[in-house]
């Protein structure tokens, strides 16, 4: 299993707001199930609850040859701030490679 911690740019998420992330692995390959969670940035005053609402696998293709030909896989997620205050996060991603 691979775990990639503290990925992407730091963002501040307002109370009740949802953030969206998208990523692709080299070669746009399928890595199997992916897990996504919030990585809280900062000191002791940055705490709360961020819920992973959804993760998705997206296959894309071309039909330039007259039929559907798969060209890759990408991943996306939605995370919601369930706290009553803003939080600063980046993203942790785990997969089964």
Q: Can you give the pLDDT at residue 42?
A: 83
3-state secondary structure 26-89: HHHCCCCCEEEEEEECCCCCCCCCEEEEEEEEEEEEECCCCCCEEEEEEEEEEEEECCCCCEEE
Identify the residue with better confidence: 30 or 81: 81
> Model confidence over 37-61: pLDDT tens digits?
999 998 778 999 999 999 999 988 8
Lowest-confidence pick of 18-27, 57-66, 78-87: 57-66
User: What rounded mean pLDDT belongs to the chain?
Assistant: 91
For strand 2-13 and strand 87-95, is the pairing parallel, antiparallel, or unpaired? Answer: antiparallel
In CATH terms, the fold of domain 2-95 is Jelly Rolls (2.60.120)
CA 3/CA 17 separation, integer angstroms: 25
CB 71 within 8 A of CB 60: yes
CB 91 within 8 A of CB 22: no
Give the pLDDT band (50/70/90) at residue 11. Answer: very high
Percent with pLDDT over 90 in the chain? 67
């Amino acid at each position: 299993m691979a775990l990639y911690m503290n990925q992407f740019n730091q963002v501040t998420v307002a109370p009740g707001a949802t953030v969206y992330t998208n990523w692709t692995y080299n070669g746009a390959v399928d890595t199997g199930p992916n897990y996504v969670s919030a990585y809280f940035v900062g000191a002791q005053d940055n705490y709360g609850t961020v819920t992973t609402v959804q993760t998705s696998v997206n296959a894309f293709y071309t039909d330039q040859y007259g039929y559907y030909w798969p060209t890759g896989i990408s991943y996306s997620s939605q995370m919601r701030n369930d706290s009553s205050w803003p939080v600063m996060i980046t993203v942790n991603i785990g997969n089964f490679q």
